[in-house]
Amino acid sequence: MSFASGRHFLQIPGPTNVPDQVLRAMSAPTIDHRGPRFAAMVPPLLEALKPVFGTAGDVVLYPSSGTGAWEAALVNTLSPGDRVLCFETGHFATLWQRMARDLGLEVDFVPGDWRHAVDPADVPARLTPQTKAVLVVHNETSTGVTSDIAAVRRAMGDHPALLMVDTVSSLGSIDYRHDEWGVDVTVSCSQKGLMLPPGLGLNAVSAKALAASARLPRSYWAWQPIIEANKRGAFPYTPPTNLLYGLREALHMLHSEGLPQVYARHARHAAATRAAVQGWGLELLCLDPEAYSNTLTAILMPEGHDADRLREVILDRFDMSLGAGLGKVAGKVFRIGHLGHFNDLSLAGTLSGVQMGLQIAGVPVKDGVSAALSVLAEA
């Protein structure tokens, strides 16, 4: 089948479909990053970002991927040999703790089955006097499981460890409260809920994190020079100007819709998607209804069916990209991204494509689209 007509459905859980107004904003000419027009753009941009993180504190932008923002969180706060506590919620939690090891940290990695959120009840026993930081992935992009950050923080009690949270696939899509929940470093990036192309890594930083005595070597990722330079509308090195144009437009869109409305929309789409999965008679990877992700849904293939083959059928036949199973669920799981610049009819098209793809791939499923439409129509 041909890809020649109609828009591609990019339903991986990020990069998401970039709004055309954001792409247009990004295609404005690059300007002098040391001149007055640039300087005037920076402060309102940072101010508009803060409510998305739920912080009144500092937000730091990097020309980087989200992986870079993980590294920034670690090297700005920790010293060689420091002990950190991580939870195996999925593929990205596994990669982050591996990065911590690569950078010379000691990692306590609490094993998990990739089908549950972090259990706050586990936290106290896992904390040691030497634990310097707790690392949690808010919304596991590989599994569609969302952990309760506020509960994790409460479970840490008055332990002095820093709390660092990866919000790569939740920020801007699922309610998040850096300050209120007591997070020290929030890590995120541009290409998911912020509706931008990849290329921008973000950290929101608490005063405690800023004050951490950290001896890991750092230069590019160092927070302080960036925060200082930002105060005068500048950056210590050349910023990704055109992505900042796009960010300005994307934040304008999010605030125009209203963050509560944005979060409600994602919740509605997730509920409709799960209704479709139930209709199809398939199984969610996530086993805990309290932890269902609002931004993506990971679905187990029935025995004897390969998830990657399904994705291939759907790409070839319907020009839709779905997320693969990653790491230990490779081939067993496929993921539907339903986040970012997205609406009811695009979701209906997405779920229709999955349903037809399942049928064409010979997976025995019943109609699930009708159930999803009911959810959407009743909203």
The footprint of a second copy on residues 90-109 (CB under 8 A) is: 99, 102-104
Q: Consult the annotation and say whether 101 binds a ligand.
A: no
The CB-of-316 to a second copy minimum distance in angstroms stands at: 10
In the structure encoding, which two tokens stand for residue 239, read together? 């910023």
C-beta of residue 185 within 8 angstroms of C-beta of residue 74: no
The CB-of-150 to a second copy minimum distance in angstroms stands at: 27
C-beta of residue 96 within 8 angstroms of C-beta of residue 136: no
Torsion of Cα atoms, 202 then 189 then 101 then 120, to 10°: 90
Contact flags string 47-86 toward a second copy, x per CB under 8 A = ---------------xxxxxxx-xx--------x------
DSSP letter string over 305-346? --HHHHHHHHHHHH-EEEEEP-GGGTTTEEEEE--SS--HHH
How are the residues of the chain apportioned to helix, strand and coil, as percentages rounded to the nearest 5? Answer: 40, 15, 40
Nearest residue (CB) to a second copy, 78 versus 162: 78
Instruction: Rule CB under 8 A: say whether 23 interacts with a second copy.
Output: yes
Nearest residue (CB) to a second copy, 155 versus 354: 354
Among 157, 219, 290, 304, indicate the residue that binds a second copy (CB under 8 A).
219
Q: Parallel, antiparallel, or unpaired for β 58-63 and 200-205?
A: antiparallel
Distance, in Å, from the CA atom of 252 to the CA atom of 270, rounded to the nearest integer, reads: 24
Question: Count of CB atoms within 10 A of residue 225's CB?
Answer: 13
User: What is the footprint of a second copy within residues 258-287 (CB under 8 A)?
Assistant: 258, 261-262, 265
The CB-of-120 to a second copy minimum distance in angstroms stands at: 28
Nearest residue (CB) to a second copy, 68 versus 112: 68
* Alpha-carbon separation of residue 209 from 46, 55, 75, 104 (angstroms): 19, 14, 11, 19
Nearest residue (CB) to a second copy, 230 versus 355: 355
Instruction: Rule CB under 8 A: say whether 350 interacts with a second copy.
Output: yes
Among 39, 48, 110, 324, indicate the residue that binds a second copy (CB under 8 A).
324
Instruction: Rule CB under 8 A: say whether 355 interacts with a second copy.
Output: yes
Instruction: Rule CB under 8 A: say whether 202 interacts with a second copy.
Output: no
Stretch that binds a second copy, among 124-132, 238-246, 284-292, 328-336 (CB under 8 A): 238-246
